[in-house]
Amino acid sequence: MNPYLYTLVYYVVSAACIVVFLYVFELVTKYKDWEEIKKGNVSVALATGGKLLGICNIFRYSIEHNDSLGETLVWGVLGFFFLVLTYYIFEFLTRTIRVDEEIGKDNRAVGLLSAFLSIGFSYIVGASIT
């Protein structure tokens, strides 16, 4: 395949997946990402940015280590599943803090930690992609 076309196809498919995955993340959280970002909620912007970077990082590894678009998509979806799982584990392990509520209230410490968890775990998932 022509490398320019190859890049375009992976770009378009990855961008579509990112939009879908961010929508799913918005369904998972109690706050509305884009409404809160529009209001200037920095914590939501941090958490959403971390999710976005985490998803992109997983696709980077997936594109790099797979020969077909199908394999890339499978790994991308699996990696996204692990990012959602990370979100639930974060919520479960911080029983004294309601992560969603704190991010919704613009607790930047929680938003930043959420971003770092998404980014950090995307490297772990990415490293396992073959």
pLDDT one-digit tens code per residue, 60-118: 999 999 889 999 999 999 999 999 999 999 888 888 889 999 999 999 999 999 999 99
Residue whose tokens read 């890339």:
72
Provide the number of structural domains found in the chain.
1
Q: What whole-number distance in Å separates Cα of residue 44 and Cα of residue 63?
A: 28
As given in the structure block, the two tokens for residue 39 are 């209001």
Q: For the whole model, what pTM was predicted? A: 0.92
Q: What whole-number distance in Å separates Cα of residue 67 and Cα of residue 60?
A: 13
As given in the structure block, the two tokens for residue 11 are 């770009």
As given in the structure block, the two tokens for residue 97 are 């803090």
Q: How many helices (H) and strands (E) does the chain have?
A: 6, 0
Kindly report the number of other CB atoms within 10 A of residue 37's CB atom.
16
Range of the domain at 31: 3-128
